[in-house]
Amino acid sequence: MVAVGGVPARMSASSTVLPEKATHQQTRTFNQQLVLRALHDHSPLSRADLARLTGLTRTSVGDLVGTLIDAGLIEEVGRGRSSGGKTPILLRVAPDGRHLIGLDLGEAQFSGAVVNLNGDILRSIHLPLDGRDGDAALELVFELVDALRADDRSHLLGIGVGAPGIIDTRTGTVRWSVLNWAELRLGPELEERYGMPVAVANDSHAAALAELTFFRRPRPNNLIVIRVGRGVGAGIILNGQLFQGDGYGAGEFGHISMTGAEAPCRCGKEGCLETITSMRALVDAAGTLEPSITDEGGLVAAFLADVTGIRRMVLDAARQLGVAVGWLIGVLNVQHVLLVGPVAKFGGDWLDEVRRHARASVLPLLARDTQIEFGHVQDDVVVLGASALLMEQQLGLALVR
């Protein structure tokens, strides 16, 4: 059972209470989460609406709403239409009732932001990694959090972190990462240093949570979010919950081997999908064709300007990504597939190439019913997803178990 931040709902480990009392508190926490979640997904709502949506009695709802208003987590926003008697007072989650810190520990830079409960980014900071890894990269995480906290000490709910690699979200441990971290207890280290709750997730898993929590209404039951940046990875939502796999590596399909590909991959293998279709691979390949292209901006500009050879090379990589996306669709039959990350800058022609080859590589009936689109958020998708994970763990607003 997770507790509502700031609301006296969680029993302290040292308190001696009767089991019946503990059960009552757990029920109360659960009911608070029901109310918060209903408001998060369907605001604004009256108390009567809440009773109908949650199945709680009006008396219980009135009591819970009072507690949540006192805690600053929800607020009144005027009156709705009357259905006979008095006009009802409408409620919503107070957007600034809590702030939280979201981090995106990317491979080129670390980004962090102060985010509110609406998923609005209030302030953000970007620090270049400059090749740092291991302990030096961890120091940079501290620097980032220190800078964000200096600006906002009030009502911080905690810290959500998205990082590349295999991450045990249960214990906040980075099991392996290209940042040269192995079995790093990142969550506990940050919790101890800053004295607030911390949630840690793989960056592509975080991207899927961002889309699910902030940008998809109604929430799809199943969703695949594929992030193509310096690496390639997917976040998979099944039955409304993030599917992490038995070893937290679900969606690591950037390291499946592609026929005919031989380039060495940073994972130690050769011919991974990532060595063909990631932004890093595309920039490198473009540089051999056109030496003036040295970064993503130059690559995208050359693609859009139809520079000889570049367009074909990028679309050829899109074709291979499409085939791999088709495999995912064939295995999971998920009908909503979103692509996020800097590749979105290539635009519709790139997306069409991915779509065409994804659909061509699965059973036609599955292909017909599957939508492949760009996601809603691009630059901040990991920051928002890490924030969503923390909100779920502290407030029960999303669905991750």
Member of 208, 265, 286, 362 binding Zn ion (CB under 5 A): 265
Q: Binding of Zn ion at residue 276 (CB under 5 A)?
A: no
Of 206 and 272, which has the nearer Cβ to Zn ion? 272
Of 188 and 249, which has the nearer Cβ to Zn ion? 249
* Contact (CB, 8 A) for 383 and 112: yes
- Strand 336-340 vs strand 371-374: parallel, antiparallel, or unpaired? parallel
Question: From CA 396, how far away is CA 401, in angstroms rounded?
Answer: 10
Question: From CA 376, how far away is CA 261, in angstroms rounded?
Answer: 32
Residues in the chain: 401
Q: Binding of Zn ion at residue 255 (CB under 5 A)?
A: yes
Of 201 and 272, which has the nearer Cβ to Zn ion? 272
Question: Which residue, among 331, 341, 329, has the nearest Cα to 274 in the 3D structure?
Answer: 341
Region binding Zn ion by CB under 5 A among candidate stretches 30-38, 47-55, 257-265, 303-311 = 257-265
**Distance of closest approach, residue 274 Cβ to Zn ion, in angstroms:** 6
Of 214 and 253, which has the nearer Cβ to Zn ion? 253
**Distance of closest approach, residue 265 Cβ to Zn ion, in angstroms:** 3
Q: Binding of Zn ion at residue 267 (CB under 5 A)?
A: yes
Q: Binding of Zn ion at residue 178 (CB under 5 A)?
A: no
Region binding Zn ion by CB under 5 A among candidate stretches 32-40, 96-104, 224-232, 268-276 = 268-276
Report 317-376 residues binding Zn ion (CB under 5 A).
none
- Would you tell me the crossing angle of helices 47-54 and 19-42 to the nearest 10 degrees? 110
Of 253 and 303, which has the nearer Cβ to Zn ion? 253
Region binding Zn ion by CB under 5 A among candidate stretches 28-36, 58-66, 171-179, 248-256 = 248-256
With CB under 5 A as the rule, give the number of residues binding Zn ion.
5
Exposure class string for 113-140: b at 16+ Cβ within 10 A, else e: bbbbbebebeebbeeebeebeeeebbeb
Cα dist from 301 to 87, 193, 296, 321, 347, whole Å: 56, 43, 8, 21, 11
Exposure class string for 273-302: b at 16+ Cβ within 10 A, else e: bbbbbbbbbbbebbeeebeebeebebbbeb
Region binding Zn ion by CB under 5 A among candidate stretches 24-32, 63-71, 129-137, 263-271 = 263-271
- Strand 89-93 vs strand 74-79: parallel, antiparallel, or unpaired? antiparallel
**Distance of closest approach, residue 284 Cβ to Zn ion, in angstroms:** 15
Q: Binding of Zn ion at residue 281 (CB under 5 A)?
A: no
**Distance of closest approach, residue 164 Cβ to Zn ion, in angstroms:** 12
* Consecutive H or E run containing 126: strand 121-128
Can you tell me which residue has the tokens 């040292």?
A: 14
Of 272 and 390, which has the nearer Cβ to Zn ion? 272
Where does this chain bind Zn ion (CB under 5 A)?
255, 265, 267, 269, 272
